[in-house]
A and B are shown apart, each in its own frame.
Chain A
Amino acid sequence: MQEAVIKRAKELLADGSVNRVVGWKAGEFAYDTTPAVFTSAEELDAGFIYNDFCAPNLSKYIIKESRKEGKLLVFLKPCDTYSFNQLVKEHRIIRENVYIIAVPCTGKVDVDTVKSKGIKGITGMTSDGENVTITTLYGEKTMPKSETLGDKCRTCKSKKHVIFDEIIGDDGEVNTDGARFELVEKLEMMTPDERYDFWRNELSKCIRCNACRNVCPACTCESCVFDNPNSGIQQRAATDSFEENMFHLIRSFHVAGRCTDCGECTRVCPQNIPLHLINRKYIKDINEFYGDYQAGSDLETRAPLNDYTFDDCEPSIVYKRGGNE
């Protein structure tokens, strides 16, 4: 796969259709890939990779990149294409300046998941698509790839690319089994006290590093309300439990209906807070209240919060539905 991707990138650079390539750059170990811009065939040979460890979503980088001189080439995984589409829809990406090559994805290995299995000192990892071989300072281990996936990939919403100019490999299918809502449902079935304890336990870990916000392809405000000294809620840190709640409530509400469920927030959280559950709750509610909606799946439909029907359910539906009293 990687050879095919590099070959195509070189061709497009050589014939002048694009002047730079946005992709993933190899790091010190197999797993620490960094998004990067490549401008020459030499740079591509030196560092470009595409494999089972390229988890970062590149879509957000294109906002800035697409405003620069010349056309760029970007490689997008299925879930990245949803984010990309959503950003085009919100006029954040200048589509004409971007040439998209869709690349298939079978789930990305998450090093924290691997480490959580008690594997220490990982100096290298290779994946053949079925199994992941891990070289560590203390020996070599192999485990099925399915066990190494992060939250982001364990319940993949779609393997279908929704926007691209050309595709390498075969396109996949949208996953409709609803498995991604299982944890949300489990929480809904708890009592309010249990839910409160669950979220207090999780959100009290928050260190307000803003990684979730800054990585989120839906968080693209030029200046965030939490950075605005005049907003009255500019916070450097969560000095009170209320602020922990408020930051995540407001942030998730702001992306409600626009969140494509790419799972980057949870992937990057240094404190391992399952932030995607908050976003998935909104997605699940939107689906239940206003009909199925997948942000980023097309360029035409109105976002659920920018839309209404005369016979929408009343807010009192919340008192009547699901969960224990």
Chain B
Amino acid sequence: MFRLPADKLNEFFAAIASAQSLYIPVDGDDGRASYKKWTEGTALSKALNTVRSAKDFFFPQTTDICDFNMNGKNIEIIDNRTESEDFVIFGVRACDARSFTILDKVFLAEPIDTYYATRREHGTVITMACTEPEENCFCGVFGIDAAAPEGDAACWMTEDSLYIKANTEKGEKFIESIKSMLEECDSSAVDAQKAKTKEILEKLPFANVSTDYFRKNTLLDIFGSEHWKKLSESCLGCGTCTFVCPTCQCYDIKDYDTGHGIKRYRTWDSCMYSDFTRMAHGNSRNSQVERFRQRFMHKLVYFPDNNNGEFGCVGCGRCLSRCPISMNIIKVIKTFGEE
């Protein structure tokens, strides 16, 4: 474990940014945090988390795939991928760090998604332990420790110091590159912070929410449940929950006619939309009940079924705070759990 005096934070950022692009959570003029590229004078946000998740770095909302140029009867296909730059994301929370593991299972499984893989190779994830979790947090439900986050290297911030510890080879290499600024230390201060955070985590309103129901019951029982109709009644069918979600990974591939060629790109899609999975024969899910059910079945049933029981949710709480009508995964889990 290494230590950096807190007043040297700016120099620390400058040192990282001199070698590669550095992104940190920054407060916007409305007080909401988002990841911004660090430049001299950029201050680290004190907010618990960013409104948008960190998945943007590896799986951006839109990715250009290729261009087609039409020349008479010939179609020229242009791969417009540019070499991706090395970058560091600093201040990722434990929930978002876990979301990368979940996304990896989707995008790095055969066939490997090379767009995602390239970004993943070039990115170093530096996480930051939480000290003040909020009421919407429930990462503990999915076995995530907010006080000891994953990621290539993890950080803990105290009043006077930043502590950093490598979790992976990439993290070690990162620490090596800035070692001159750091001093070695023991983990007593971090342990004290962890213990304090753990106390708060145990008191969180959703600390004891149980997902047992989804383990004990069969897919078909849950799928056919009466609850879905009632739960989905108020759903507006917007895509807010899916777009702020760090683990939602569905996308659509579209062509855009520029008048002199075609741009093929992929964009996030949302299972809440009426035209999601529309095919030549029509749509497989025609009502909002089915679409609503799909989202939660995916996270709580289908994904674990295919991934050794790991749920497709990290408990970041973004959908809880952003849903226009406050219908969310906790309400779904609780409704089933009460049965």
Contact = CB atoms under 8 A, between A and B. Distances in A.
Interface of A: 27-29, 31-37, 56, 61, 111-112, 116, 120-123, 136-138, 207-211, 213-215, 223, 227, 229, 232, 234, 236-237, 239, 264, 267-268, 270-272
Say whether chain B's binding surface is mostly helix, strand, loop, or mixed: loop
A139 to B, nearest CB: 12
Contact of B268 (A31, A120, A232, A237): A237
A35 B52 contact: no
Given A37-B233, A239-B256, A270 B243 contact: yes
Given A211-B324, A227-B275, A237-B268, A120 B134 contact: yes
Interface string B47-68: 0100110000000011000000
Given A34-B325, A207-B243, A211-B236, A229 B275 contact: yes
Most buried by A among B52, B61, B203, B325: B325
Nearest to B324: A268
Contact of A137 (B200, B244, B256): B200
A109 B242 CA distance: 26
A236 B269 contact: yes
Given A123-B205, A137-B134, A35 B265 contact: no
A270 B234 contact: no
Contact of B239 (A33, A121, A209, A232): A209
- Counting from the closest, the 6 A-B pairs by CB-CB distance are A268-B324, A32-B326, A237-B267, A236-B267, A214-B238, A214-B236
A215 B242 CA distance: 16
Contact of A236 (B237, B252, B328): B252
A201 B34 CA distance: 13
Interface of B: 30-32, 48, 51-52, 61-62, 132-135, 200, 203-206, 233-234, 236-240, 242-244, 252, 254, 256-257, 265, 267-270, 273-275, 278, 320-322, 324-328, 330-331, 334
Say whether chain A's binding surface is mostly helix, strand, loop, or mixed: loop
B62 A237 contact: yes
Contacts of B62: 236-237, 239
A5 to B, nearest CB: 18
Contacts of B275: 227, 229, 234
Nearest to B326: A32
A116 B135 CA distance: 15
B193 to A, nearest CB: 16
B243 A121 contact: no
Contacts of B52: 207, 271
Contacts of A232: 257
Contact of B326 (A27, A210, A264, A270): A27
A34 B334 CA distance: 15
B323 to A, nearest CB: 8
Contact of B331 (A27, A35, A112, A123): A27
Contact of B265 (A122, A123, A239): A239
Most buried by A among B52, B238, B331: B238
Nearest to A223: B274
A56 B236 CA distance: 11
Most buried by B among A28, A264, A270, A271: A270
A225 B203 CA distance: 47
A270 B244 contact: yes
B135 A213 contact: no
Contacts of B133: 121, 137
Contact of A116 (B31, B244, B322): B31
A29 B137 CA distance: 13
Contact of B274 (A121, A227, A236): A227
Contacts of A239: 62, 256, 265, 267
B234 A138 contact: no
Contacts of B205: 28-29, 123
Given A137-B135, A137-B203, A207-B52, A34 B243 contact: no
Given A237-B61, A237-B62, A121 B134 contact: yes
Given A32-B326, A61-B234, 5 more contacts: A27-B326, A29-B205, A137-B134, A137-B200, A270-B244
Contacts of A27: 326, 331
A208 B273 CA distance: 12
Contacts of B322: 270
A116 B30 CA distance: 8
A56 B324 contact: yes
Contacts of B206: 28
A319 B182 CA distance: 61
B132 A121 contact: yes
16 contacts: A27-B326, A34-B331, A35-B325, A56-B325, A121-B132, A207-B243, A209-B243, A209-B270, A211-B239, A234-B275, A236-B62, A237-B267, A237-B268, A270-B51, A270-B240, A270-B322
A136 B132 CA distance: 11
B275 to A, nearest CB: 5
A215 B269 contact: no
Contacts of B242: 209
A214 B274 contact: no
Contacts of B265: 239
